[in-house]
Structure 1
Amino acid sequence: MYLEHFGLQESPFSLTPNTEFFLNMASYHETFNMLMVAIANREGFIKVVGEVGTGKTMLCRKVLNTLEEDEQRYVTAYIANPVLSPKGLFLAFAEELGIEVDNDIGHHSLLKKISRVLMELSLEGRQVILFIDEAHAMPQKTLEALRLLTNIETEKTKLFQVILFAQPELDDMLRDKSLRQLLQRITFAYRLECLDRDGVERYVSHRMAKAGYNGPAVFTSKALDDLTSASRGIPRLINILCHKALMVAFGRGDRSIERDHMQRAIADTEGVELPPPAPSYLRRISAVMAVMAVALAIYMLNYYLR
């Protein structure tokens, strides 16, 4: 494809959440640190919310990988598809903990097995963390069952923690009166923000460098302006548009991404578009106001220097 053309060793804008491409931008850095602090303090429920495509799964994998480097201390469980019944959730958790059970096991027996393993791990000094991705998709009954499951504890500590990664719809669900007890259990919460213009430029440069590129900036300033506007700073959309823009440039034999390449990528992508240009009279007014501002600044400078 375009890898050799741009001197790349791998695709820089793959949609797969490869943690090698993780960028410690302010929002992600703060959230990552918050999660590690909350885990260290053995907080019960932790919630991370972000719009579609803002990198929640990438952040989740980054935390998971960090904890798995210390297997003697941490035991992690990861549920990627939580559209489950309460018993289905318990079975998935048991499987992640390495507990062998039959699907027709009784509810009480299943909870006893989970409780026993959690207690054994606690006595070994190991900390259990359950990660649930796409938590906004969980049925309300399953969310409430999860809260009840966290009641498993010793006199001094909870036997496991829960970290929820979700779209903003989870916040709407938690406002329901039936889930007020779960809402009160959430001790740490953070929201992932979209990237601003500088953040988009850093993100693109970072991924190009990680993919093996070593040279002058490939994406021009105007192309990045359009990329920021069309993607609204959402990493997933940035990846899609950059990938397509590189393909357009490769097809033409170009070595840099100009505004035309990016606009063709935008036109080819559903759900993204550039904002319409301001009417000509507004542009003229803006230009006049800019000139007046400069003139006023010069006048005031001369006045105070007399």
Structure 2
Amino acid sequence: MYIDFFGFRDKPFRLTPEPAAFFCSAPHDRAMTMLEYGINSRKGFMLLYGLPGTGRTTLCSLLRETLVNCNVSYVPKTSDADLLHKICNGFGIEAMFKSTENEYFGVMMDYFVGEYKKGKNNLIIIDDADEYSIDTFRTLEKLSEVEIEQCKLVQVLMVGTQELCSKLMYGNVKTLSERVLSVTELNLLGLSDTANYLQHRIKLSKGTDPEVLKSTAVVEIFRYSHGLPLEVNLVADKAFQVAADARDKKVGPKHVREAIKHISGIRQPLRVFTVAQYLTPVLILLVLLLGGLQIKTFFDMKDIEEQYAGVKPAAEEPAAETEAAQTPEPAPVIEDAVTEPEPAPAAKPEPVKDEPPAVVQPVQAPAVPVSPEVKYGCITARSGLKLRNRPSPNGDVVGVAVYSSKVMLIEREGEWWRSKINGREGYLFAEYVNEVNRQDKCE
């Protein structure tokens, strides 16, 4: 045994309820406060529920010792037929065994009235109440009617698991469930409470070294037990035995893991931190690859937006030149997709000599700076329209105007419009340019 090896006077971790070794954790303190308030306020029926091993029985035993001016009848799990007889025995009431239900209630009523006149309260604690039948609940329901001067003569505390709540809610005992005025849940311990609980148990056993249990071992115990006191005792007891067998003066995480392996009967599953040491390089590589792809996608999309962005209209020509960065040379796929018919061979640009010289002279001077002369057009070619360096289908492509974008038109030269897109000046085939006003939008 590890008791002599670690210098304990007594076994620190037992699996049976020990009221003398009770540790008042935050969940237990909250539950105790709620129960004491309900009993002293004569709430009638109360409910305490929690997982098996949370310390419900220990809490009830401690409650019996701390209550003042209150008679307590504690009833452990028994048969449904013997419940009323056990309640009477708990109060010290003499009752014939196998009496009828009315006879049991008659002697209990006399007892409760007599104790009420003495200024005492009465409490019935029914442990493992979720294991009783619905008919037994209906029998207990009659105790809720025992009152005098609008004061309950007896308080009933039903203790069980979550199943007890389900029985009261769905077990067709509506009157009883409505009269349960106090419901308290006994929660699990947190990591801090688990550490304090383990130290509390070690100090009670008078260990020679108060730091015999490492903090990393406490974390392992909590991870396995989830703060359930019964599981905490089970794992800690076995971990101390493993450390004693290995002649180690300190109980560490490796002893806890070995203890869990013995308790479970199988080897512990591979933990996250063990798997992580193999997966970390792979994960880092994946993150770097995904990050690189995202950066590349971002810049590719930015280039495409700049390439196909239309020119926003402006009041003056210099403002249109600051629209966006220069469009790079389009990909061959885009150039092939552009719709552009071959111009008719007979088409000839209008001769300049036909225009009256008197009209040309006054217009030429203000043409560049005056904004009303600037025209706009919408691109109607669904596959885009190429901007060439000269008014000819054989001219070099210097840019692309996307479908439904608005472009600035400088001058019409036969079947071509001289235009400027993204700072580059060239010629667009006029058949696929729909002339619009400045304020119009391209559909």
Aligned ranges for residues 249-264 of structure 1 at < 5 Å?
A: 249-264=243-258
Shift of 1:51: 0.8
After superposition, the C-alpha distances for 1:87-122 in whole angstroms (9 at most, x for unaligned) are: x22111111111222223232222211111111111
Instruction: State the distance in 2 between where 1:283 and 1:49 align.
Output: 43
Which is worse superposed, 130-139 or 150-159?
150-159
Shift of 1:7: 2.2
2:74 pairs with one of 67, 72, 78: 78
Shift of 1:150: 2.6
Q: Runs of 4 or more off by more than 6 Å in structure 1?
A: none
Counterpart code for 1:220:
K
1:197 pairs with one of 191, 195, 199: 191
1:220 and 2:226 equivalent? no
Higher helix proportion (structure 1 or 2): 1
**Hey, what does 2:155 align to over in structure 1?**
161
After superposition, the C-alpha distances for 1:236-259 in whole angstroms (9 at most, x for unaligned) are: 011011111111112222211122
TM, length-normalised to structure 1:
0.85
**Hey, what does 2:409 align to over in structure 1?**
none
Instruction: State the distance in 2 between where 1:91 and 1:256 align.
Output: 52
Instruction: State the distance in 2 between where 1:95 and 1:53 align.
Output: 27
Which is worse superposed, 272-281 or 51-60?
272-281
Higher strand proportion (structure 1 or 2): 2
Aligned ranges for residues 1-306 of structure 1 at < 5 Å?
A: 1-67=1-67, 70=68, 73-85=69-81, 88-176=82-170, 178-270=172-264, 276-278=270-272, 279-280=275-276, 283=280
Q: Is the 8 A contact 1:82 1:132 kept in 2?
A: no
Q: Which runs of 5+ in 1 are unaligned?
A: 290-306
After superposition, the C-alpha distances for 1:33-92 in whole angstroms (9 at most, x for unaligned) are: 11111111111111111111111111111111112xx4xx1111000114413xx22111
Q: Is the 8 A contact 1:76 1:130 kept in 2?
A: yes
- Residues 1:148 and 1:283: Cα distance change in structure 2 (over 3 Å): farther
Instruction: State the distance in 1 between where 2:199 and 2:236 align.
Output: 11
Q: Is the 8 A contact 2:143 2:154 kept in 1?
A: no
Q: Is the 8 A contact 2:134 2:171 kept in 1?
A: no
- Residues 1:65 and 1:269: Cα distance change in structure 2 (over 3 Å): same
Which is worse superposed, 176-185 or 154-163?
176-185
Q: Is the 8 A contact 2:261 2:267 kept in 1?
A: yes
- Residues 1:267 and 1:140: Cα distance change in structure 2 (over 3 Å): same
Counterpart code for 1:31:
A
Instruction: State the distance in 2 between where 1:17 and 1:80 align.
Output: 13
Instruction: State the distance in 1 between where 2:91 and 2:192 align.
Output: 42
Instruction: State the distance in 2 between where 1:89 and 1:242 align.
Output: 37
Q: Which runs of 5+ in 2 are unaligned?
A: 288-443
* Matched position secondary structure for 2:147: coil
Counterpart code for 1:128:
N
Q: Is the 8 A contact 1:19 1:61 kept in 2?
A: yes
RCO higher in 1 or 2 (8 Å CA, sep ≥ 6)?
1
Instruction: State the distance in 2 between where 1:271 and 1:117 align.
Output: 53
Q: Greater Rg, structure 1 or structure 2?
A: 2
- Residues 1:20 and 1:115: Cα distance change in structure 2 (over 3 Å): same
Instruction: State the distance in 2 between where 1:268 and 1:17 align.
Output: 23
Instruction: State the distance in 2 between where 1:130 and 1:157 align.
Output: 16
Shift of 1:214: 4.8
Shift of 1:221: 2.5
Counterpart code for 2:76:
A
After superposition, the C-alpha distances for 1:125-158 in whole angstroms (9 at most, x for unaligned) are: 1111011111111111111211112312112311
Instruction: State the distance in 2 between where 1:214 and 1:116 align.
Output: 56
Instruction: State the distance in 1 between where 2:184 and 2:47 align.
Output: 6
Instruction: State the distance in 1 between where 2:279 and 2:27 align.
Output: 34
Aligned residues, how many?
A: 283
Q: Is the 8 A contact 1:82 1:137 kept in 2?
A: no
Shift of 1:283: 4.8
Counterpart code for 2:62:
K
Q: Is the 8 A contact 1:230 1:273 kept in 2?
A: no
- Residues 1:104 and 1:164: Cα distance change in structure 2 (over 3 Å): closer
- Residues 1:104 and 1:190: Cα distance change in structure 2 (over 3 Å): closer
Instruction: State the distance in 2 between where 1:159 and 1:128 align.
Output: 7
* Matched position secondary structure for 1:254: coil
Q: Is the 8 A contact 2:202 2:210 kept in 1?
A: no
Counterpart code for 2:234:
I
Counterpart code for 2:107:
K
